Structure 1
Amino acid sequence: MSNESGVGVSTRQPPAEPAVVTVSADRRSGRITDVLSQYSLIGVLVLLCVVFSLWNPKVFASTANLQTILLQQATVGLVALAVMVPLVAGQFDLSTGFQFGLAQSLCALLVIRQGWNPLVAIIVVLATGALIGVVNGQLITRLGLPSFTTTLGTGLVVLGISEFLTQNQVIAGSAPAWFLNLGRGRLLGVPAPFLYLAVVAVVLFVVLEMTVWGRRAYAVGANPAAARLSGISTDRLVRQSFIVTGVLCAVAGCISVTSLGGSSPVIGLGSLLPAFAAAFLGATCIRPGRYNVAGTVIAVYVIGVGIIGLQQKGAEVYVQDLFNGAALLIAVIVATLARRRKRAV
């Protein structure tokens, strides 16, 4: 083709193949990064198991040790799931560890000291957990109080009640054999408490990922104002999330009593940080940037395997706090970097 002056003008465009190749490479790199971020925590768990099995084969690499890990981390997993539910809805519940302690103390008190029928005692404990959840939810939604400080306050009240009921003493003694077998039994070698954790995790996964309530909970946590404008009753959903937390803490307390055969007045004090560490760390995998059930359970066992493996090699008790704190810091750092990466894109 030529213009009026007779000078030839080429209309051919330069080849676009390099750009296509670049875009394709970027997409492939993005997919690889997404896969690594989704499943990296599973890789860490496998790596820890391999390292400790090679480092301490006679102790760590045994069926008995695997059963111990599954058993010990089951109640921690339940408390971590309890912590996660309000987080999904954009709230904090710092009373979960204290609720777990109260549930354990109350269950042991009623069954072991008072001789109650265990089924009736469990119902009372579950109702107490739900009641604490109602109180937390009402204070936060009706009075507009911040969840962080409110639940810390109610948690300290719950701690005081636990100390009053137990006189700050360990509760131990006889209980019906069938009641203790609920926590000490095994199915195909798998400890019963881990099976309870698995059942609760599956139910909670279905509720959060496959129901309207779960989708609304994530919407409220992401943007409460937008969720409210779309017709979601945000306050009611927040109240319900705290009730779920209370019930889960009560379940964890009852399972702990059936497993240990008693209660300790200090158990609730040490369960809050591991639960939050697992919930935050779990949000970096499976569904990165989003609190999720599978990630939380995986994180519980990553932390548990690391702590137990080190302690079996003679590490001091303080390694537990170091490990939990490090896990929490790593989770926060990863989440912050992920947000920055999304903004840059």
Structure 2
Amino acid sequence: MKTVERYAVLVVWALVVAFFAWRSDTFAATSTVQLILSTQTVILIATLGVTFSLAVQEFDLSVGSVVGFGGCLLAVLDGREGWAPGPAIAVTLLVCALFGAINAALSVLAGVPSIIVTLGTGTLLAGITLGVTESKVVTGISVKTVQFMTSPFLFGIPAPFYCGLVLCLVAWFVLQHTPLGRRMIFIAENREVARLAGLRVNLIRAGALVVTATLSGLAGVVLAGTNSAANPQSGAYYLLPAFAAAFLGSTTIVPGRFNAWGAFVAVYFLTTGITGLQYLGYAGWPEQVFYGGSLVAAVTLSHLAGHRRLPRFA
């Protein structure tokens, strides 16, 4: 039974692929695989970021805003100001990490529930992004950055996808094979008991929020580089997909825990279904249906199975 539960999403994924390959010859082409793998790195990285904060029962609703801000800041530094790509990316990630530290300070030190803090700070950051960009799309990102993000690296797939795989590997190792990962599980189950056991609960919670913001900023960097421009309003799109994939991922591979490979499977399972429907001529509604439905279904199944409590928001 446990084996079935662990790999159920993988089995359904295989059935979905088989169905769409049967209905559409175009879907079965190699180019479709390359398209699916190449275009979802932003969501994958954002989902991994969300996974870290959810692993300690923190809910960061500023993820979409940070993705948008990270992309716009890179575009401003790399494109408008003429910075070299390396320093521009480093400063972007540092600023996003500092934003995560602000979320952590308000939530962990001040004691305000993270879902409230990040809802407010995310809205604030979205406004700052519009102000910095004057509500305009920022262009002019350097050719080197764009080429790295978009040029085929291996098997016709750009380098960011493989960077996402490396991040999955790192997240998998940290969450499942280190003392820190076990402590995060302990904190998610019962913070007070973990504190009495001597764990540095506040520090770990704060660190998770900083990691979430940093990875969200990295997702924004990839988004801007891939599009060779940054839209200040694009970040909002990534909030629901990231949470939907993270929760769906918690029902597979390691059921009941937010885990890296489960997140990976969930991201590309959802994308496969959306892409398949688009190939069959359905456009516009599949994304909302898949992401919204999967979020509700994943949280419901997880709750009914008793693997994870619903958020307490207190």
User: 1:210-242: per-residue Cα shift (whole Å, max 9, x none)?
Assistant: 111111111111110111011001001111111
CA contact (8 A) 1:166 1:265 kept: yes
User: 1:18-58: per-residue Cα shift (whole Å, max 9, x none)?
Assistant: xxxxxxxxxxxxxxx2111100011111111111111111x
Match of 2:7 among 39, 46, 55: 39
Gaps of 5+ in 1: 1-32
For residues 1-345 of structure 1, the aligned pairs below 5 Å read 33-57=1-25, 59-173=26-140, 175-176=142-143, 178-185=144-151, 186-339=153-306
Question: Structure 2 CA distance, aligned partners of 1:337 and 1:276?
Answer: 19
CA contact (8 A) 1:67 1:191 kept: no
2:86 partner letter:
L
Once the two structures are TM-superposed, the CA of residue 208 in structure 1 deviates from its matched residue by 1.1
TM-score if structure 1 supplies the norm length?
0.86
Once the two structures are TM-superposed, the CA of residue 174 in structure 1 deviates from its matched residue by 5.2
TM-score if structure 2 supplies the norm length?
0.95
Question: Structure 2 CA distance, aligned partners of 1:188 and 1:276?
Answer: 29
Once the two structures are TM-superposed, the CA of residue 265 in structure 1 deviates from its matched residue by 2.0
**SS at 2:246's partner residue?**
helix
Question: Structure 1 CA distance, aligned partners of 2:174 and 2:119?
Answer: 27
The structure number with the bigger radius of gyration is: 1
Once the two structures are TM-superposed, the CA of residue 143 in structure 1 deviates from its matched residue by 0.7
**SS at 1:324's partner residue?**
helix
Once the two structures are TM-superposed, the CA of residue 333 in structure 1 deviates from its matched residue by 2.0
CA contact (8 A) 1:278 1:296 kept: yes
Once the two structures are TM-superposed, the CA of residue 195 in structure 1 deviates from its matched residue by 0.4
User: 1:309-338: per-residue Cα shift (whole Å, max 9, x none)?
Assistant: 112222131221111111011102211221
Once the two structures are TM-superposed, the CA of residue 98 in structure 1 deviates from its matched residue by 0.7
**SS at 1:172's partner residue?**
coil
Question: Structure 2 CA distance, aligned partners of 1:272 and 1:108?
Answer: 21
User: 1:124-161: per-residue Cα shift (whole Å, max 9, x none)?
Assistant: 10101110110000001111000111111010011011
Once the two structures are TM-superposed, the CA of residue 340 in structure 1 deviates from its matched residue by 8.6
Q: Which has the higher contact order (CA 8 A, sep 6+)?
A: 2
CA contact (8 A) 2:149 2:225 kept: yes
Question: Structure 2 CA distance, aligned partners of 1:104 and 1:262?
Answer: 8
**SS at 2:99's partner residue?**
helix
Gaps of 5+ in 2: 309-314
Residues 157/279 of structure 1: CA separation in 2 closer, same or farther (3 Å cut): same
1:147 partner letter:
S
Once the two structures are TM-superposed, the CA of residue 292 in structure 1 deviates from its matched residue by 0.7
2:84 partner letter:
N
1:241 partner letter:
A
Question: Structure 2 CA distance, aligned partners of 1:55 and 1:45?
Answer: 15
The ranges of structure 1 where at least 4 consecutive aligned residues each deviate by more than 4 angstroms after the TM superposition are none
Question: 2:312: which partner in 1?
Answer: none
Question: Structure 2 CA distance, aligned partners of 1:134 and 1:328?
Answer: 27
Percent of pairs identical after alignment?
A: 36
Question: 1:29: which partner in 2?
Answer: none
Question: Structure 2 CA distance, aligned partners of 1:169 and 1:103?
Answer: 15
**SS at 1:285's partner residue?**
coil
CA contact (8 A) 1:282 1:291 kept: yes
Over the residues paired in the alignment, what is the CA RMSD in angstroms?
Answer: 1.6
Residues 184/313 of structure 1: CA separation in 2 closer, same or farther (3 Å cut): same
2:209 partner letter:
F
Question: Structure 1 CA distance, aligned partners of 2:244 and 2:307?
Answer: 21
CA contact (8 A) 1:183 1:259 kept: yes
Once the two structures are TM-superposed, the CA of residue 77 in structure 1 deviates from its matched residue by 0.6
Q: How many residues align?
A: 308
Once the two structures are TM-superposed, the CA of residue 172 in structure 1 deviates from its matched residue by 2.2
**SS at 1:51's partner residue?**
helix
Question: Structure 2 CA distance, aligned partners of 1:118 and 1:181?
Answer: 12
